[in-house]
Amino acid sequence: MTPIFELCDGYVGKSTTLDPISAEIRGVAGGFVAATDYSPDGHAARAELIHRTLAELAGLRVTSEADRHAAEHLRKRLEAESAWHASGEPLRMLRGQFGLLNLIRDSVDLLPRSDDDQWRNVAARLAAVPVMLVSWCTSLDLGLEKGLTAARRQALESAAQAERFAGVHDALVTSYGDGRLAGELARAAALAHMAYTETARYLRQDYVPRAAEQDGVGAERYAVAARQSLGADIDLAEAYAWGWAELGRIEAEIADEVERVRPGASWEKVSALLDQSHCVVGADAYRAWLQERHDQAGELHGTHFDIADSLRTLQVAIAPASASGSPYYTPPTEDLCEVAAGVASSQEIWRSQWRRGVGSHLMWRASD
């Protein structure tokens, strides 16, 4: 392994220690650690690791084409993360959907649970939920002091989400049964649920009155976030114009499809028609249908794509407390052996009927 690859490998290991929750969500293998520190000190430690790694990278010599690619990727990734830290984003890290609350909740659901040792990790993670939420609120408090605030609507939606999460782990605890860890799991879940409720109270009573009224973040913050998400700097005006053009194209396609289903009818009438004629009833039926559709992805192998055997098994399940209304995914573990405990959004089981079209909140993981 060259010095550049050793640096890359070392950074992944050290960042996993400092942020085990994100590492698990990405499927990075490593020993179990119960919590990530989301306090200002925790963010500072991660920022320092980034700066230290970039400084070390600058002093290494590229010895091959693979080295060049690895160094370029590491540098761009860490520079984007460094800009995010420098802009104060960790102190206003608050968003209603796919934010930290989701991450913490999912980090419990995604833990393996095949024996009591693994269930003990589940109990430890549940017990760590209050610690993580308090550390997060500490960062938000510092952001308020510094005038670095998230939008009021984001805070309100996050509060509503935290309220929904009170009780979200009960089914998981029940699934363990009456084994020797049942009491420990129940107590830890109760503490987690109390922490969700307290976080909702904090957001509504302490944060919302001081939050920003405006939803928009401005061009400078948006550019930092876009670079972090995409890994590249983009022309924001060009991307914005493209987005509106795509919206127009999609709306035109929708109008064409509506006309095909019922000529002259409105979208509302066609939607009601499809609700009656092309639906499955109940969450279990929807999950089974969606699983069947994704199992068919293997048929694309050799015709449209080359899909490795280890990536052809997908698992779909319902996330009862989710209300994001859009798909999300988690990657497989590095060894492609771990299958997630599931997640396709219930959206509170929309009228217990699901129109048969992929696009509801779905989560899959590959396995062998």
Write the CB contacts of 228 (distance below 8 Å, at least 6 apart in sequence). Answer: 80, 81, 83, 84
Position 66 scores a pLDDT of 96
Tell me the pLDDT tens digit for each residue of 73-91.
999 999 999 999 999 999 9
Same domain, 105 and 222: yes
Tell me the pLDDT tens digit for each residue of 43-73.
999 999 999 999 999 999 999 999 999 999 9
Q: Which two tokens stand for residue 333?
A: 């573990």
**Cβ burial 15-51 (10 Å sphere, 16+ → b, else e):** bbebbbbebbbebbeeeebbbbbbbbebbeebbebbe
Position 78 scores a pLDDT of 97
Same domain, 158 and 79: yes
Same domain, 98 and 202: yes
Burial of 265 (0-12, 13-18, 19+ CB in 10 A): middle
Same domain, 272 and 286: no
What is the residue range of 147's domain? 3-230
* Alpha helix ranges (H) inside the chain: 3-18, 20-26, 40-58, 65-86, 100-109, 116-146, 152-165, 170-176, 182-201, 219-230, 236-261, 267-277, 283-295
User: What is the reported pTM?
Assistant: 0.82
**Cβ burial 93-126 (10 Å sphere, 16+ → b, else e):** bbbbbebbbbbbbbbbbbbbeeeeeebebbbbbb
Position 316 scores a pLDDT of 80
Same domain, 221 and 244: no
Same domain, 251 and 296: no
**Number of domains within the chain:** 3
Same domain, 129 and 156: yes
Position 341 scores a pLDDT of 38
Q: Which amino acid is at 88?
A: G
Q: Are 108 and 169 in contact (CB under 8 A)?
A: yes
Q: What is the DSSP string of 216-228?
A: ---HHHHHHHHHH
Position 324 scores a pLDDT of 53
Same domain, 247 and 263: yes
**Final residue of a domain: which of 230, 262, 297?**
230
Position 340 scores a pLDDT of 42
**Final residue of a domain: which of 230, 265, 297?**
230
Position 328 scores a pLDDT of 63
Same domain, 239 and 360: no
Same domain, 263 and 211: no
Same domain, 163 and 303: no
Give pLDDT < 50 ranges for the chain: 340-368
Same domain, 187 and 249: no
Position 244 scores a pLDDT of 96
